[in-house]
Chain A
Amino acid sequence: MTLEERFDVILAAEDKIEPADWMPDDYRKTLIRQIAQHAHSEIIGMQPEGNWISRAPTLHRKAILMAKVQDEAGHGLYLYSAAETLGVDRDQMQTLLHQGKHKYSSIFNYPTLSWADMGTIGWLVDGAAITNQVMLTRCSYGPYARAMVRICKEESFHQRQGYESLIRLCSGSPEQKAMAQDALNRWWWPSLMMFGPHDTDSTHTEQSMEWKIKRVSNDDLRQQFVDMTVPQADYLGLVVPDRDLRWNEERGHYDFGEIDWEEFWAVVKGNGPMNRDRIEHKVRAWDEGAWVREAALAHAAKKEGAIT
């Protein structure tokens, strides 16, 4: 059996590819791309929510938010580790992110403007992420699939806390409910954009599905998400900002309007509201930490020298 045949047999058997296995170079590249972007997204994703830790309205909400943002750091770390099994270094990936050569999910290029954004991000953004991540626990690459199992387990509280916090706002004062509606208005479309271009315009989908890195297409996942969230918006008494949204009895799904693809590509290319701020924040933290990282290494070297 050739190496390539062996790889195909493992895939066909729904078995996992492990780091030391031979794999096609493009499989490896596709994985690095996807895992690195996923990791970067978790790390940059700490900022929009981190923006509200100091202002959370109650100590209970402050604790939840802090734990959630901290979880995101953990998830980024697990994912970087998974990418490292493919022979790329975490610090190199971070440096490439800082240089704008690696990207992260566009959703985090939108600003968090009110407290209701915290609940809405949990509900919609984490909701969209879960739709996708549950699929990724079945991904063919072992370290990625294992990282996703751990992440999904830890993340189960993220979406629920968000929705629960919105229930509180929507059953509160008119001012609170308006805050929630305003947040939904701003986050709905960017959330739908998270699923990416239409399948017909998606360059990677077909190959990724064949390799079992990706298991459901962009449009199918997006439809799943809409079908799931519209009744949840109804329950909250909030209006989804889409005039074309209606139940299609025949299809058994919601029909919904077209995404503003111009905005979509503008944000992907770096021209969203917060693209620059996010990277500046990240680079500043990294640069300001350089002397600390160096000191730790210098101290470790001294200690090793002392022992031998």
Chain B
Amino acid sequence: MSEPVISTAPQGAPASDSSDPVRALVAHADDNLVLAQRLGDWISRAPELEEDIALGNIALDHLGVARALYSHAGHLEGKGRTEDDFAMQRPEREFLNALLVEQPNGDFAHTMVRGLLFDAYQVELWTDLSGADDSTLAGIAGLALKEARYHLLHTSSWVIRLGDGTEESHRRAQAAVDALWRYTAELFEGAASEYHDIWRKVVGEVLDEARLQIPDDPYQRSGGRRGFHSEHLGPLLAEMQWMQRSHPGLEW
């Protein structure tokens, strides 16, 4: 496989500053919130009732983690911002989530593949952060790690079922991998290369068992962590923030 070519965000973009703990917390919170918002759309639309419930659980897990991280970020920042200030009052350019999570749900294969790629990353992330010096963050990460491990179990077993199911499901799962692979290198930007290596191994094993190919496309997208998003995030935020934007300053 070729080395990834990372596209750069437009000139003049503020560089991601991992030394700013508030910014890092907000980025992780945004990942979780945006994915929760996406997964919430599946409720009442899943292939079977059992899966409606499973996707609901995963969405609730991500939402819970997002809320905990926003609250902690607000506390560290010391400007009195609440979880809802972060979620509902920031414009798109201030959202720092990775591009992967804002990608549309697509079909069930897209959602499961997106989940697999992201969950494998989150398991590493939370493993790492559960040893953080910041004890609040370590606590959040410890809880999130348990949840992420279950998400990974769920998405990887589905990807295997779909990849090694029928001809149609294989075709759809491969199309999802082809479409989403280019949003994965961004997750490891600025991190030591071992993280990306472990992730490649975990994901690679699942895809192998699913008889799915990693696309031979070296092109990778990036920019979400610096606030440069795809066109998919804007409509998601418009919908999510609509109540607070149209009725400012009220308690709900």
Contacts and interface: CB of A to CB of B under 8 A. Distances in A.
Nearest to B161: A299
Contacts of A61: 252
A165 B250 CA distance: 13
A295 B87 contact: no
A13 interface: no
A294 interface: yes
Given A172-B251, A294-B166, A295-B166, A77 B160 contact: no
Interface string A44-60: 00110010011111111
A260 interface: no
B252 A74 contact: no
Given A168-B252, A292-B169, A294-B169, A73 B49 contact: yes
A270 interface: no
Interface string A67-80: 10110011011001
Interface stretch (A29-37, A190-198, A199-207, A281-289): A281-289
Interface in B143-173: 160-162, 164-166, 168-169, 172
A57 B252 contact: yes
Interface in B213-252: 239-240, 242-244, 247, 250-252
A77 B49 CA distance: 7
Nearest to A39: B49
B48 A55 contact: no
B43 A73 contact: yes
B63 interface: yes
Given A59-B63, A59-B66, A59-B67, A70 B56 contact: yes
A54 B60 contact: no
Contacts of A235: none
A172 B46 CA distance: 37
Contacts, number: 142
Nearest to A171: B251
A91 B160 CA distance: 25
B57 interface: yes
Contacts of A80: 49
Contact of A63 (B60, B168, B243): B60
Contacts of B172: 291
A243 interface: no
A63 B63 contact: yes
Contact count band on B: 35 or more
A258 interface: no
Contacts of A293: 47-48
A290 B242 CA distance: 34
Given A115-B243, A294-B169, A299 B63 contact: no
Interface in B19-76: 33, 36-37, 40-41, 43-53, 56-57, 59-60, 63-64, 66-67, 70
A292 B43 contact: no
A62 interface: yes
B60 A296 contact: no
B107 A76 contact: no
Contacts of B37: 54
B169 A291 contact: yes
A290 to B, nearest CB: 8
Nearest to B50: A77
Nearest to A281: B44
Given A53-B40, A57-B252, A70-B60, A76 B165 contact: no
A285 B46 contact: yes
A176 interface: yes
13 contacts: A43-B49, A50-B44, A53-B43, A54-B40, A66-B56, A69-B43, A73-B44, A165-B252, A173-B250, A176-B247, A281-B45, A289-B47, A298-B165
Given A57-B88, A59-B33, A290-B47, 14 more contacts: A55-B240, A57-B247, A58-B88, A58-B252, A59-B63, A59-B84, A66-B40, A67-B56, A70-B60, A168-B251, A295-B161, A295-B165, A298-B165, A299-B162
Interface of A: 43, 46-47, 50, 53-63, 66-67, 69-70, 73-74, 76-77, 80, 115, 165, 168-169, 172-173, 175-176, 281, 284-285, 288-296, 298-300, 302
- 4 closest A-B pairs by CB: A289-B47, A295-B165, A295-B169, A70-B56
Interface of B: 33, 36-37, 40-41, 43-53, 56-57, 59-60, 63-64, 66-67, 70, 83-84, 87-88, 107-109, 160-162, 164-166, 168-169, 172, 239-240, 242-244, 247, 250-252
